[in-house]
Amino acid sequence: MPIPEGVRIATVSALTTAVKARLEEHFAVVWVTGEASNVVKASSGHVYFTLKDSQAQIKCVMFRGIALRLRFDLKDGMAVVLRGQITVYPPKGDYQFIVEELHPKGVGAAELALRQLKEKLFAKGYFDPKRKRPIPKYPRRVALIASATGAAIRDMLELLAQRWPVAQVVVRPSRVQGEGAAADVAQNLRFLSSLHEKRTLPLCAIVVGRGGGSAEDLWAFNEEIVADAIFECAVPVISAVGHEIDVSVADLVADKRAETPSAAITLLTPDRREMMAGLRDIDARLRDGCVQRLRVARQRVDQLADRPAFRKPLDRIRAAEQKLDDLAGRLHRTAQRFVGNCRERLAATAEQLDALSPLNILKRGYSLTRRGDGTVVRAVADVVPGEVISTRLPDGEILSKVVSASESPVVG
């Protein structure tokens, strides 16, 4: 079949150019939605992918400038909304979509970026509970990274003064929100970590603190450079960035997370007053233990002295008695040497040592129960229901009637 006369025969290039011009004219601004697949990041920085739904697909390209501005990574399977234009790529004869805007569908770009960073750091083991370091229980020196003028530093210093003045506090001022905050926080963490490693400023813990604020203000603590600095820090880090609702990346990487700067200090330090009360209690237990031993020993000596058979070597018993008196004196003197507001209490108790009254034992919560004839009740079988018994307490006596008496298995 001959070619008809007079037809205009175009070259491939000419035709393609014509098609391209038409398409570009008609599809200059297009919004389209679909699922991204076959996402490829080329070394040029351009991103190529296919946008598809169940029946069709379009080749898409996102040039480097646009791709770099994207806060999150485009991934296969992601539902997206695109704005762009249709064009033709002449060398292949493909028509394709040039992406000018790319939005994740159903979720904000910032949120998606954060989610992706969390996934990435999780995969790198940054959040692994096994690598969380314990915070020393009685810290000697702690560092605070915070704004030098904010409420966070004031709250932390106040609480430290109240709870744990034992520790030296090193304040390292830092921007914690706004432009450059992430870089500043990261740099300060690395600086403190390096001083610790060189042993020129050994630290027990670092608190990164910030007062409350909006989720946007929190952004510095969601940046990868901060996460890296916490992860690589040679000192345990407590993150206290003051946002109860959103858990920041810094919170997840830190060895401990506190909801507020004050909470961080509570978590980091023991309470001095509680510890002092605990020490007074230990002191009382030490004394009670000793008093008890002395009492038992003295009873033994008394019993021995009562037996006629032992009366003979009386000097041995006298010697034993004297030794007990010496030990009681030692206890008394040791107790008296204790400082502070314990002193009077201790001395008063030490004076009672010689008496070793059973009332002292009653004061510790024990009681003594007797029957009507004065015999001591030592077992359930000693009493019968209906019987009246009397219980001796340090400040008086209780009379009671036995309702029932049954043996129970001994616990422990």
Partner 1 sequence: MTLAPDTPVKFETALAELDRILRELEDGTTTLEDALARYERGVALVRQCYGQLQGAEQKIRLLAGLTDDGKPDLKPFEHTASVEKAKPARRGANAEG
Looking at beta carbons only, is 305 or 320 nearer to partner 1? 320
Cβ neighbours, 10 Å, residue 352: 13
Query: Cα(216)–Cα(364) distance, rounded to whole angstroms?
Result: 58
DSSP assignment letter at 215: T
* Minimum distance from residue 248 beta carbon to partner 1 (Å): 24
- Footprint of partner 1 on this chain (CB under 8 A)? 137-138, 143, 148-149, 153-154, 157-158, 160-161, 164-173, 192, 195, 200-201, 272, 275-276, 279-280, 282-283, 285-287, 289-290, 292-294, 296-297, 324, 327, 330-331, 334-335, 337-340, 342
Q: Record the tokens describing residue 152, joined without a space.
A: 């966070």
* Minimum distance from residue 355 beta carbon to partner 1 (Å): 18
Looking at beta carbons only, is 165 or 178 nearer to partner 1? 165
* Minimum distance from residue 210 beta carbon to partner 1 (Å): 16
Looking at beta carbons only, is 84 or 209 nearer to partner 1? 209
Contacts 24+ apart (CB under 8 A), 20-25: 20/87, 20/88, 20/90, 23/86, 23/87, 23/88, 23/95, 24/85, 24/86, 24/87, 24/88
Contacts 24+ apart (CB under 8 A), 249-253: 249/114, 249/117, 249/118, 249/121, 249/221, 249/222, 249/223, 249/224, 250/208, 250/221, 250/222, 250/226, 251/221, 252/118, 252/121, 252/126, 252/127, 253/121, 253/126, 253/127, 253/227
Cβ neighbours, 10 Å, residue 234: 18
* Minimum distance from residue 353 beta carbon to partner 1 (Å): 12
SS3 57: strand
* Minimum distance from residue 402 beta carbon to partner 1 (Å): 32
* Minimum distance from residue 200 beta carbon to partner 1 (Å): 6
* Minimum distance from residue 203 beta carbon to partner 1 (Å): 10
DSSP assignment letter at 10: P
Looking at beta carbons only, is 131 or 343 nearer to partner 1? 343
Q: Are 192 and 205 in contact (CB under 8 A)?
A: no
Looking at beta carbons only, is 118 or 196 nearer to partner 1? 196
Looking at beta carbons only, is 149 or 375 nearer to partner 1? 149
**Whose CA is closest to 41, among 59, 69, 62, 72?**
62
Query: Cα(146)–Cα(208) distance, rounded to whole angstroms?
Result: 6
Work out the end-to-end distance of the chain between its first and last CA atoms, rounded to an integer number of angstroms.
Answer: 110
**Whose CA is closest to 83, among 47, 46, 32, 37?**
32
* Minimum distance from residue 341 beta carbon to partner 1 (Å): 9
Looking at beta carbons only, is 105 or 285 nearer to partner 1? 285
> How far from 175 is each of 143, 187, 191, CA to CA, in Å?
15, 11, 15
Looking at beta carbons only, is 82 or 192 nearer to partner 1? 192
Looking at beta carbons only, is 69 or 199 nearer to partner 1? 199
* Minimum distance from residue 251 beta carbon to partner 1 (Å): 24
